[in-house]
Structure 1
Amino acid sequence: MKRFLILLAFFIPLTIVAQNITITGNVSSDIESLPSVNIIEKGTTNGVVSDFNGNYTITVKQNATLVFSFLGYETKEIAVQGKKKINVILKEDNSFLNEIVVEGFAGVVGQARRRAESIQSIPESVVTMTATEIENAGITNLQSFSAQVPNVNFNTSQNVGVNFVTVRGIPQIRNGEAPISFVIDGVTVPDSNLLNQELFDLAMVEVVKGPQGALYGKNAIAGAINIVTKKPTNSFRNKVNIGYASGNTIKGQGAFSGPIVKDKVYYRVSGSYRKSDGLFYNITNETPPDYFDDYSARGQLFFNVTDDFKITLSGQYNNINGGGLYYHIPANGASTVDPNEIDDVVATSDVLGKAFLKNLFAFAKLEYDFENMKLQSVTSYNKAERNGTGDLDHSAAPILLQDQDSNSEVFNQEFRLSSKDTSSKISWDLGAFYQRNERYLRTLAQADFGFFAPPFAPTGTFSDLGVSDFTNTYNTIALFGFLDYKLSDKVTLSFGLRYDNDQIEQVNPALNSEDSKNDSEIQPKFSISYAPYKDVLLFANYGRGYRVGGFNAQKTTIFDREYQAETSDNYELGFKSSWWNNRFILNIAAFYTNLNNQQQYGLQLTPPNIILGNYNYDRSSIKGFEVDMKLRVSKYLDIIASYGAVDASIKEAGRAGDTDRTPFNGVRTPFVPQDSFNVSLQSNVPVSESVSLRGILNLKGTGEILWHEELPDLKSPRYNLLDLRFGANFNKKLDITLWGANILDEKYAQEFYSSQSIGGPGQDLIWLGNPATYGVELSYKF
């Protein structure tokens, strides 16, 4: 009898589980997929929301009824009746147009923790934009997206693919790793050259701040950026977009999706083309130096092999050609310039810079659903080739030239096992990851010796000054796990752990040398969240971040042969809330970060050689806070605002190469804006059932920036950029938009290089942000 009771006690839970069923599906309108739709098991509190592509997964009783509800659409109820897949099409509620009641903001779903969740319910600082918000705000790349996010600054410089992203006081360095993980459709793209590619046909873009190593692995020391593209659909949906803007800029985009075999095989093909003559002017060769020609294409195939087994194949190609090295120099032949006074700076190079970036990115994703878990395999390949050539003296005289290749070839393999029972108190992920990353860097500087000494060589006889030519190879193996446990309806604990091991090798023909070293790090993450009320969340978390080290071209007086891995310990307190029936959303976070071996970029000028390299500060620290707010003042007016401030400073600069850097103790960290803010007024006015108008006025402010620790008094001042967009939509299909960016024509520096920082000859160099630009766009869905 005792054994029978024990067996009965064991089988009762299994019987309860067997009575449940996990359902997947998609929610859409007649035109497009619908994100953030509420799906509730009727008569219970068990519910989920559809993700950025309208997909959902929910575990319910076999005899349950699902209720689908979404703002502006009719609510729909569907009995489960043992079905494992339920696709739903919601119809618009036309009476919504005439309602006087002001509705609150719809919930937003993100992927900060590698699974679809409401961003208001997770203990992370996250900013997420849906497809509609991306289109309305005119987001075309990560630089335009970062303008909406506090404590995130994204600049470009020099050539196509040279990017500088700073997140919460942690900057990117030249020829090194970005401080964030860059993820497209769940696949890591480990090349910072690709960060600012053209964004098109997107379902979601988001940034999650703070170290995310436990979830994303190495180099997510300051956070992660998730890009989610729109997926193939089981019905035909198409969209085209054309535009014209300042600088004789033309733009064309298209996306086409539908079934190849109904319910079994779907496709999606999308592409983007953008060409511009340029916005600046070079007074020496009388040619705009910032021309570009950018085309990209993406193809996706989705195979619904069975209800439990699915395959996704995706490939993307980018080809960008443009001007390069169009630095602006001081006017009237001066060697230095005050970064506060850059109105009259113009390009004077005698050589028209040229640059290109070609990239192939492809992956295969296999997913198999077990009863209460999912197994996923992702295999990806990425190859990028980048080159920039042009003037190195940046003057009208033919003195110096430069040529640089920066290529990468990466193979990734990840296996991930995840829970999927939405009714359980525990959710978890386990996985393993392998990556092989080969990165080639060749930098060549040349001098016209005939210009310097005509008696000894004819003008036009160029000789090499300094050469770096090496390949760094990273072989990475990682194991990771993450657990989310609901102690109660109000308290949730989260714990993640990841171990990364990097074997780093360099082959350097210029030095006839081969070197190797090993970097490894355990990256834990711990969070606790408390929800005292339905729409209020308090959280605290700790996370460790890790940015891999590497080898320089050679040792110099200011940096060593190698630079060390960078680690961080981050502590954060946060508050998320929704008030007034979701008409007012307020999120606040404060953070403190200790950094060990923070990486920094240096340039060694020892004529005739010019050598680039990276070095470390022994210890630095960051403290700061940020506030995000959404307010629906009326049915037709929203105010979106955010503010962030950081205090990032070097505590112990240490020693690099033969240089004692301790005099820089206490100096602010270079490239970090002191603060940033964003204020946006947004309005959407339905004129009739078929016509609606919208307008967005956006002001973005970026605080004072220090460029070199050696020159703590040389800073760029605050600048503010004002953007405006106005559009009209007809029948939810045709959209016309007029827009202006930086309409006050603010002059500001994206990068400021001072010749004083290396104590050698030359001029100050400034990479300017774009002047005022205006354009018009038309899009049509069918």
Structure 2
Amino acid sequence: MSHYLKFCLGSSVVIGVVLAGTPALAQEQMTAPQQAEQNSGIGDIVVTARQRSESLQRVPDAISAFSQSTLVNANIKNVTDLSRLTPNLNFRDGRAFSANFFDIRMRGIGSAQGGWPSVSLIVDGVPTSSSDALTAGSLAGVERIEVLRGPQSALYGFNAIAGAINIVTKRPTNDFTGEARVYYGNGDDLQASAAVSGALIADKVLLRISGQYRDDDGRINSQTNGVHLDFHNRKSFESRLILVPTERFEADIRTTYDREHGGYSFQGRGSVAGNISDVINTKNPVFARREPGTQTRTFGRVAARLKYDADIVELSSVTSYDKGRQHGVGSACYDDVNAPSFPAPDGLGGTLCLANTRAFGNRAAAGQVIERFQAGSDDIDAFFQDVRIASKDSETIEWLVGGSGLWRRVDSVTRNFNEVAGTLNRPQVSFTHNRKYDKWWGVYGQISAHLGNFELTANGRYDRQKYKNTSYADFGYTNIIRVPDQTGVLQNSQHERAHSFQPKGQISYKIDETKMVYVTASRGFRAGYFNVGSFAIPEKTTNYEAGFKTSWFDRKLVANASVFHIDYSNQQLFATTNVAPFRIPVTVPKTRIKGAELETSVRIAEPITLSATLAYLDADVTNGTTSPRAPKWSGSFSGQVDQPLNDVWTLNARADMSWHSAQFLAVGNTQRVPKKQYLNARIGVEREGYGVYFVGQNLTNTQEPQIQASATTPYRIIYPVDPRSYGVELRVQF
């Protein structure tokens, strides 16, 4: 394994692996009580959820806000970590098959593979163009994360039917500063990041550049030959340049490049006869491969945000171009064909592979299949533009209007091929190639009126979309596979259109400076999508919500809660199959969801803060079954300690326990997973400019199937949780 640290450009754009910054380093001059308040998350956090700076406790929406210090102390480095501390946010990770094979659900509204995400990810005002970006990149350089629950279409556009994750990165500073982080853990996991920030021209030209590196052998090895299956290598850099030529105008330009190379298609195989959870809890499935699968992903983005202060209004524009490429190839046998743990049960030799084909490994005779492989690639190009006008400096009426558009092209290829004994050829077994074009534009507006202790807010968005899909029988875009339209006439391409108006109305009442109540009614919308010739129709939701936000005893106790009801039409799900493309759209006509959420923090002593979340969810399909991947109960409990040891050193310690009740992974109340608990911890000592910590994730080594298990009769394929990880972390700031 090569170990090196490359200092590159940036401040993070999308969610992933390493964090820069530490509480003691980022807030060097704070007193211990101030440090405890920041670390606990009870402080008066300022959020921009409504496109203006406001105290979290004064925004009439269900929002979980994570400050920089909380992100570091809780070791939040990807969507899985974030979901375990956010009420009714459920992330199911199928990375054992592919890094973009997952399901993110907020309040029971999830994501279908190949479709648009249910939760919009926005980084410094720029939305992601596909679901894949949710698991690409890193959290290095993040100042704050705001998780907004409930439809957010008017302000955050497409993909916000269930909510939005708003990421705010660190702004370049006038003073020259730098920071670095090094981590080494089990699995020979080396991580490093570094960043510098300063002014090229004071107050006029500010720049922050950063780089991240990771080289990880992984913690899942083949049980037959010891090869590393879940290895991971990443190199990324980001930059953020701010130009302020006049007092009225600012340009914020960001660039990102991220490249990762890691394991692909290393899911385990177990007996189909056992309960899905029993299979994984009894050291089954078996993880075994003749050779590891590999996947390479690259992501690049250039984005510019322009602001102009025109006295009574502010004009702004956001422009971005994304380019994503990913390609993976791995065994379709889900076993080591040289030493199969699951030989074919018919006594004819070899082991069964995908679609019940057979492979014989190195024992194959001439003409027999040695091994079968599957390969997939996705190329995504997207252009986004948003313009808006917003009021400013008004105590009575606040408003904004704007418009945005997205153009996206996606090329998806899936193929299977064999390695045959006695020949150098690798004959292709199946091939699918689809090119999709998506065009999306919308106009939106919001107005808020402050009438005494009441605030009335109304917003809405009108969207129009066009979709086009063309299927090819080759890589060269020459051999078109014609498909029938709705009338049965063969066409070269499939076309669909959709439009939707998504209103939202809200009334809040401020009881006093520390307490408020609110009610909300809104509509949600998610566009349909093509998946290898099949079209999933658009979704719609009608949402009702009520909640309160309170602070007590000079903010030593914070308690926020909400209840909601959702009428959900045409829920987009997916089912796994044994033939390409291995997933097909499934539509559930009617789903009714009701639930409640509670978040609370209490500082019980100067150095100690306790936090907890509790979520209830009742997601019923009209046939009386429970919606998949929607546990009825879930929650978390956290403890943070910031205790001065002497005049120089401070003890910084945090533990997070999260849990969920039983849930089903597939429609019809099938593939039941019982309740599970997870434990993460971080403990260390720090002083001005330095810190050293022990960091542990999933310390109980909890395992559960993540995604609906596909069956390759007579076997079952299981997607596992990342195993226990632990290591030592060093942070420095200057």
The alignment's TM-score, normalised by the length of structure 1, stands at 0.80
The DSSP-based 3-state class of the residue aligned with 1:329 is strand
- Please tell me whether residue 493 in structure 1 is matched to residue 456 in structure 2: yes
Corresponding position: 1:477 with 2:424:
no
- Three-state SS of the structure 2 residue aligned to 1:214 is helix
Q: 3-state DSSP class of the match of 2:264?
A: coil
Aligned length: 656
- Of the three residues 663, 668, 678, the one matched with 1:705 is 663
Residue 42 of structure 1 corresponds to none
Q: Does residue 384 of structure 2 align to residue 412 of structure 1?
A: yes
1:118/1:593 Cα in 2 relative to 1: closer, same or farther (>3 Å)?
same
How far apart are residue 146 of structure 1 and its match? 1.6
Aligned pairs (5 A) from 1:722-741: 722-731=679-688, 733-741=689-697
What does 1:626-641 correspond to in 2, within 5 Å?
626-641=597-612
3-state SS, counterpart of residue 220 of structure 1 = coil
Q: 1:567 and 1:485 mapped to 2: Cα distance?
A: 28
User: CA 1:215 to 1:281, structure 2 compared with 1: closer, same or farther past 3 Å?
Assistant: same
- Separation in 1, partners of 2:41, 2:406: 44
Select which of 137, 154, 157 maps to 2:74: 137
| Residues 373-428 of structure 1: per-residue CA shift (max 9 Å, x gap) | 1100111000101112111221222443110012211001110111121x421111
Given that 1:104 and 1:632 are in contact with CA atoms closer than 8 Å, whether structure 2 keeps it comes out as no
Q: How does 1:596-745 map to 2 (within 5 A)?
A: 596-605=569-578, 612-651=583-622, 665-710=623-668, 712-731=669-688, 733-745=689-701
CA shift, 1:189, in A, is 1.0
- For 1:195, give the aligned amino acid: L
SS in 2 for 1:746: coil
CA contact (8 A) 2:32 2:643 kept: no
Give a deviation string over 1:481-534, Cα, whole Å, max 9, x none: 01111111x110011010111111112124243121111111111111011222
**2:150 equivalent to 1:210:** yes
Q: Offset of 1:370 from its aligned partner? A: 1.1
Residues 174 and 581 (structure 1), Cα distance of their counterparts in 2 relative to 1, 3 Å cut? same
User: Helix, strand or coil for the counterpart of 1:403?
Assistant: strand
Q: How much does 1:551 deviate?
A: 1.9
Q: In the alignment, is the contact (CA less than 8 A) between 1:682 and 1:696 conserved in 2?
A: yes
Structure 2 runs not aligned, ≥5 long: 1-22, 338-358, 360-370, 474-480, 483-491
CA distance in 1 between counterparts of 2:618 and 2:292 reads 40
Given the alignment, which residue of 532, 542, 559 partners 1:553? 532
Conserved 8 A contact 1:538-1:574: yes
1:186 aligns with 2:159: no
The residue that corresponds to 2:353 in the other structure is none
Structure 2 residue corresponding to 1:250, chosen from 190, 195, 213 = 190
Distance 1:310 1:626 in 2: 39
Which residue pairs with 2:477 in the alignment? none
Distance, in Å, in 2 between the alignment partners of 1:673 and 1:440 is 35
Instruction: Give yes or no for contact 1:163–1:195 (8 Å, CA) kept in 2.
Output: no
Give the Cα separation in 2 of the matches to 1:411 and 1:377. 14
TM-score scaled to structure 2, two decimals? 0.86
Q: How far apart are 1:206 and its partner, in Å?
A: 1.7
Note closer, same or farther for the CA distance 1:286–1:494 as it changes in structure 2 (3 Å cut): same
Partners of 2:41 and 2:66 lie apart in 1 by: 17
Identity %: 27
- Note the 1:320-719 alignment, pairs <5 A: 320-330=260-270, 337-342=275-280, 343-345=282-284, 346-397=286-337, 398=359, 399-421=371-393, 423-447=394-418, 462-488=426-452, 490-510=453-473, 511-512=481-482, 513-554=492-533, 561-605=534-578, 612-651=583-622, 665-710=623-668, 712-719=669-676
Deviation at 1:742, TM superposition (A): 1.6
8 A Cα contact 2:33 2:606, kept in partner:
no
> What is the CA distance between 1:295 and its match in structure 2?
1.5
Q: CA RMSD in A?
A: 2.4
The structure whose Rg is larger is 1
Instruction: Determine which structure has greater relative contact order: mean sequence separation of CA pairs < 8 Å that are 6+ residues apart, divided by chain length.
Output: 2
Change (3 A) 1:97 1:221: closer
Retained in 1: the 8 A contact 2:74–2:655? Answer: no
Amino acid at match of 1:771: P
Deviation, 1:257, is 0.4
Distance 1:763 1:361 in 2: 42
Report the Cα offset of residue 172 of structure 1: 1.4
Q: Tell me the SS of whatever aligns to 1:668.
A: coil
1:769 partner letter: V
Cα pair 1:527 1:540 within 8 Å, conserved: yes
Is 1:781 aligned with 2:718? no
Q: Aligned-pair distance for 1:639? A: 0.7
Cα displacement (A) at 1:736: 1.2
Shift of 1:691: 2.1
Q: Partner amino acid for 2:557?
A: F
Residue 250 of structure 1: SS of its match in structure 2?
Answer: strand
Could you report, residue by residue, the CA deviation over 1:210-230 in whole angstroms, capped at 9, with x for unpaired residues? 011111112101000011110
Q: d(CA) in 1 for partners of 2:131 and 2:500? A: 21
Q: 1:223 to 1:95 in 2, by over 3 A?
A: closer
Q: Is contact 2:457–2:507 with CA below 8 Å preserved after alignment?
A: yes
The CA distance in 1 between the partners of 2:35 and 2:567, in whole Å, is 54
C-alpha distance in 1, partners of 2:32/2:423? 78
Alpha-carbon contact 1:468-1:611 (below 8 Å) kept: no
